[in-house]
């Protein structure tokens, strides 16, 4: 055995208490934990074993020691050894989700991973972290989905470029239909304006319906004001507070599209002394058209009238480190994910065990998108919609959220349990959450009288119904869960 191993164990047992306490401010209890593992390491050094086994055992012990000492608590600065200790111990990096950290076992070799579980995991809480399935064997079957995630992001950006507030969705729906047909699947428009896609499958009596929506929030002209400005009413949950100063497009019924900006009435700070105190609402804000108009008569000459659709600029941006920012990720990101799921089926020539159908709805934001068009033989429906991210919830933008309950009540317990099991088996990073103010297409499907089990998943999306943000990892984890659950 190399002399370096003995010297490491010696330093851990004699020098580390002082170094760790000085560097991290560790408590006596933590140092006691360190001492316990230092003893185990010294015992391994004393064993008559091969050099390879010693090395693997020591690295596994250090991984466990690292997780117990450095990654306890919320302070991410304690996430790895550094300074003098780092030169003596090759501590493995960790990953965490804010409140808890675990060793990154994927960085261990197979022999080291097996030793870790056989010798150090008994009686400890680190066998499995909620949200990440971990086992004694490397998940070599975890599929590389990068090209499908790239595809998802590209298609999401394309769809975000098509205005589709509730009631004005024909162009977006036709785009969706064409994209699924390009992948080789049959798609048809419903009378209501949605799209039904058949992803094939063997068991036609136990079909799964996957639902998402391409309609978004928006506005409608409610009144033409005497000063040539437009008063709006909201479509869906569009909120005047976060819509203020956004660029808009007014779509007339016959005479074209006009640009403008949604502003506070009397929006000049240097003029309006009540600017800060004015409550933003659809009555205190207006559309200022980028046209030479100053009266009702001027507006009517443009062909603008009450009932015209007003589309808000999405402002799409994909950052170099994978964040996706835009209005209306709810729910166009999910449509992109389902397209990626369909591409995965097509590329790999998969015939699903059960019949799979997709319904891309167009009235979800006003509550009745999924009320009809359930294909015959379906016994279950799964909404893919944005996962909530915010205070009091667990999910991040990089994860897939499994909803247990929302404003409409609990989702089918067997479905939720099955989704959790599929997430573990597929390696999808997930969280389970309860959404306090939320409704989904699949609940509309049940309210319309369909006899179905139901569930809800989606990529984590922050700042919902505002300028939303998600991440490509959240999209990929949602795709991974769909593959694990539906195929």
Helix (H, G, I), strand (E, B) or coil at 318: strand
In this structure, what token pair is assigned to residue 425? 């088996």
Q: Cβ neighbours of residue 322 under 8 Å, at least 6 residues apart?
A: 471, 472, 473
pLDDT, residue 468, reads 98
Q: Choose, from 364, 431, 443, 476, the residue flagged as catalytic.
A: 364
Residue with tokens 């049959």: 186
Q: What is the pLDDT of residue 36?
A: 54
The residues near 25 (Cβ < 8 Å, ≥ 6 apart) are none
Domain ranges of the chain: 3-120, 146-215+328-486, 218-312
User: Distance between CA atoms of 82 and 101, rounded to whole angstroms?
Assistant: 17
181 is known as an active-site residue: no
Provide the phi-psi class of 427: left if phi over 0, else alpha when psi is between -120 and 50, else beta.
left
- CA torsion sign for 380, 386, 392, 395 is positive
User: How high is the pLDDT of residue 254?
Assistant: 87
What residues does 165 pair with on adjacent strands? 216
pLDDT of residue 294: 97
Q: Whole-model pTM?
A: 0.73
Please choose, from the candidates 465, 484, 205, 162, the residue with its C-alpha nearest in 3D space to the C-alpha of residue 335: 162
Cβ–Cβ < 8 Å for 68, 81: no
Q: Which residue, among 176, 132, 228, 136, has the nearest Cα to 431 in the 3D structure?
A: 132
Classify 55 as helix, strand or coil: helix
CB 251 within 8 A of CB 308: yes
The DSSP bridge partners found for residue 409 are 406
Domain 218-312, what fold? Elongation Factor Tu (Ef-tu); domain 3 (2.40.30)
Cα 249 to Cα 264: distance, rounded to the nearest angstrom = 17
Fold of 146-215+328-486: Aminopeptidase (3.40.630)
For residue 133, give Cα distances in angstroms to 118, 122, 225, 400: 17, 17, 59, 14
Per the document, the length of the chain is 487
> Which pLDDT belongs to residue 255?
80
What is the spatial distance between Cα 387 and Cα 406, in angstroms, rounded to a whole number? 11
The parts of the chain modelled with pLDDT lower than 50 are: 1-30, 48-55, 57, 66-140
């Amino acid at each position: 055995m190399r002399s370096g191993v003995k010297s490491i164990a010696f330093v851990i047992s004699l020098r580390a208490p002082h170094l760790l306490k000085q560097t991290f401010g560790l408590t006596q209890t933590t140092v006691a934990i360190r001492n316990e593992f230092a003893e185990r390491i010294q015992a391994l050094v004393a064993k008559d074993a091969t050099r390879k086994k010693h090395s693997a055992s020591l690295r596994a012990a250090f991984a466990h020691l690292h997780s117990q000492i450095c990654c306890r608590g919320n302070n991410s600065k304690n996430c790895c050894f550094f300074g003098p200790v780092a030169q003596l111990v090759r501590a493995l990096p960790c990953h965490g989700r804010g409140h808890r950290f675990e060793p990154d076992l994927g960085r261990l070799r197979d022999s080291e991973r097996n030793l870790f579980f056989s010798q150090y995991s008994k009686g400890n809480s680190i066998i499995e972290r909620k949200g990440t399935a971990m086992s004694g064997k490397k998940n070599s079957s975890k599929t590389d989905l990068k090209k499908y995630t790239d595809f998802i992001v590209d298609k999401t950006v394309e769809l975000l470029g098509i205005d589709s507030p509730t009631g004005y969705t024909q162009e977006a729906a036709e785009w969706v239909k064409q994209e699924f047909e390009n992948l080789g699947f049959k798609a048809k428009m419903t009378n209501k304006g949605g799209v039904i896609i058949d992803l094939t499958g063997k068991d036609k009596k136990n079909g799964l319906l996957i639902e998402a929506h391409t309609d978004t929030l928006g506005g409608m002209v409610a009144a033409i004001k005497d000063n040539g400005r437009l008063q709006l009413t909201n479509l869906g949950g569009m909120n005047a507070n976060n819509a203020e100063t956004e660029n808009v497009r007014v779509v007339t019924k016959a005479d074209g599209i006009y640009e403008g900006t949604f502003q506070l009435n009397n929006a000049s700070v240097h003029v309006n002394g009540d600017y800060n105190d004015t409550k933003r609402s659809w009555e205190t804000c207006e559309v200022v058209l980028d046209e030479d108009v100053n009266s009702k008569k001027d507006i009517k000459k443009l062909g603008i009238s009450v009932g015209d659709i007003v589309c808000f600029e999405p402002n799409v941006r994909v950052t170099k480190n994978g964040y996706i920012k835009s209005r209306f990720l709810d729910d166009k990101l999910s449509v992109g994910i389902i397209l990626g799921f369909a591409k995965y089926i097509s590329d790999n020539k998969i015939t699903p065990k059960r019949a799979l159908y997709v319904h891309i709805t167009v009235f979800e934001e006003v509550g009745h998108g999924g009320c009809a068009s359930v294909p015959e033989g379906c016994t279950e429906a799964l909404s893919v919609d944005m996962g909530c991210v915010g205070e009091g919830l667990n999910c991040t933008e990089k994860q897939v959220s499994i909803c247990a309950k929302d404003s409409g009540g609990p989702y089918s317990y067997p479905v939720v349990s099955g989704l959790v099991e599929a997430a573990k088996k597929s390696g999808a990073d997930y969280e389970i959450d309860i959404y306090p103010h939320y409704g989904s297409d699949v609940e509309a499907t049940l309210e319309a009288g369909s006899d179905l089990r139901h569930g809800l998943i989606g990529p984590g999306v922050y700042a919902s119904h505002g300028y939303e943000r998600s991440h490509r990892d959240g999209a990929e984890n949602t795709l991974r869960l769909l593959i694990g659950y539906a195929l």
